[in-house]
Every structure is written in C-alpha cells, then in structure tokens.
Amino acid sequence: MSAAAQTTPAANDAMISIRDLRVSYGSREILHGISFDIRRDETMVILGGSGSGKSTLLRTLVGLEKASSGEIWIRGKNMASATAADKEELRKRLGMSFQGGALFGSMTVGENVALPLREHTQLDDDTIRIMVRLKLDQVGLSGFENYKPSQLSGGMKKRAAVARAIAMDPEILFFDEPSAGLDPVIAAGIDNLIVKLKRAFRMTIVVVTHEMASAFIIADRMVLVDKGHIVALGTPQELQTSTHPRVRQFMDRIAEPEVHKEMDYLQMLTDGNED
C-alpha cells in the first residue's frame, strides 16, 4: 500500500495503467500526476471526498476529459497514441454507467439497452430481445422494456443505464456512484450484481464511490484520492487498518476541521466588493 505503489512498473496483469496523470480545468490542476495500475479481473474502487478528483479521474480514463500530461494504457495500448480504429475497438469492450444515466428519452428502455448491441454486433433481433430482457432482469427491471425513461423513477433510470452499460458484457466496466440515490435494498442489489458480473463475465470493474459500505462489499482493491493525489492504495483490509491520517479520517467519517480564520473568511466572502 501507500505512495510506493504509485511508482511500480506496469504489472503483466494490468488492464489499465495510469502514469503521472495530470488533468486541469483551465489554469486549475485537478489531478497532480497520479500513477497506479488496475489489474485484469479486479474490482478497483476509487474513493475520495467531494472535489477530490475521483470523478475527473474516471472521466479521463474513459476519454471524456483530456489529460494535460501523463499516460493512460488500456489493454496494453497507450491511449494518447491509439488510432481511431484502436479506440473504436476499445469502445466495444468498455461499458460505462454514469450519474444521471444519459438514457435516450425518445427510445424505450429496451431500445436503450439494445442500442450498443445494434450498433456494434450482427446479432439477430430475437437474440438481442432475449439479451435485453436478461439485462433488465439482472438490474431488477423485468417488465419495463417498453417504458420510456420519463416514466421511470430516478433509481429505475439509473438501473436501466446499468443494464445498457452491461449489454455487451464489457471487458472493462466503469461505474460512477452506482448506488448513490438508490434505496438500501436496491443499492445492495447493485453491489451484488457488480460482484456477480465480475465473477461470471471476468470483468475488470472500476467504481467511483463515496459509499463505504458498498466499497467494502465490491472492492478487491481501493485507491483513495485526495486533492488530486493518491494517498492510499491497497486491499479493503489494508485501508481499514491504515494509520495514514487522511485514510483514517475517511474510514472513520471524521469531519473536515474548520480551516477558515474569521478575517480570511470575511475576505473571501467580500473579495471584489467595493469598500
């Protein structure tokens, strides 16, 4: 565990290798040169508080944000130098489930789930129909195939988005806060599904979450991101027993100490105002 792991060369079993990754929004750097590997067939949970950079990390891994420097290697290919054909091939092997779901409102739930299968495969309509129903059943949405997303609750939309993300049984599956906003029973069902998907389909799964109970159920390893740096990387047990102050604060849910001095706070609130 710890920062030493950040400089370990890519292991043979690495599905994703991240090397000295930096990401900025304008002049503000969000990720400050982070490095770690995600192994084939493991579930890696990326932990961190709000604004820690964990979601930026995930978005950069799937190509939704551009790195300002550093390297991302996926399945042995450097994403910076990958050809359009490489990226297209990779897209077929990735599944992504992001907050908000991003379902197409004009399509039914079933059509949404079928979309990647219709775009990327030559499967027969009957096969696709069965696959869609299998996936909807796996996320607890049997019978909702012909509903429009607007007819679903927030939690159901999220599960429909998970069904679409797993439609192709992807080799690598990315989840952003899969259980946020779901009731505890449904959230436990999603955790259970993640564990089973990894086992049954040999998936490498990357999950961003701040739900500790969920993280401990699904993770093979965890990485704690704080202020754009990795502060810990290890198994759930290693993080659980870590004495690193920031890890302890996160594990034990200790509130951030008050950092504002009164006059600084006043200055911050009134900065730019006329005297």
Q: In what helix (H) or strand (E) does residue 269 lie, and over which residues does it extend?
A: helix 262-270
Q: What's the min distance (Å) between Cβ of 126 and another protein?
A: 6
Residues that bind another protein (CB under 8 A): 117, 120-124, 126-128, 130-131, 134-135, 137-138, 167-169, 196-197, 199-202
- For residues 10 and 123, which CB has a smaller minimum distance to another protein in the complex? 123
- For residues 167 and 231, which CB has a smaller minimum distance to another protein in the complex? 167
Q: What's the min distance (Å) between Cβ of 163 and another protein?
A: 11
- For residues 116 and 149, which CB has a smaller minimum distance to another protein in the complex? 116
What does the alpha-carbon distance between residue 193 and residue 256 come to, in Å, rounded to a whole number?
A: 33
Question: What DSSP state is assigned to residue 149?
Answer: G
Let me know: does 227 contact 197? Beta carbons within 8 Å. no
- For residues 29 and 41, which CB has a smaller minimum distance to another protein in the complex? 41
- For residues 111 and 169, which CB has a smaller minimum distance to another protein in the complex? 169
Q: What's the min distance (Å) between Cβ of 115 and another protein?
A: 14
What is the maximum span of the chain, computed from C-alpha positions, in angstroms? 72
Q: What's the min distance (Å) between Cβ of 41 and another protein?
A: 11
Among the residues of 75-123, which ranges form H helices? 84-93, 109-120
Question: What DSSP state is assigned to residue 1?
Answer: -
- For residues 44 and 167, which CB has a smaller minimum distance to another protein in the complex? 167
Phi, psi for residue 142 in degrees, rounded to 5:
-60, 135
Comparing CA positions, the residue from 18, 171, 160 lying closest to residue 91 is 171
Q: What's the min distance (Å) between Cβ of 17 and another protein?
A: 24
* Structure-block tokens of residue 147: 């509903």
- For residues 120 and 148, which CB has a smaller minimum distance to another protein in the complex? 120
* Residues contacting residue 223 through CB under 8 Å, at least 6 positions apart: 36, 44, 45, 46, 47, 230, 232, 233
Cα separation values, 174 from 38, 77, 127, 205, Å = 12, 18, 25, 6
What does the alpha-carbon distance between residue 100 and residue 149 come to, in Å, rounded to a whole number?
A: 12
Q: What's the min distance (Å) between Cβ of 203 and another protein?
A: 11
Q: What's the min distance (Å) between Cβ of 171 and another protein?
A: 10
Q: Which residue matches tokens 């197409």? A: 104
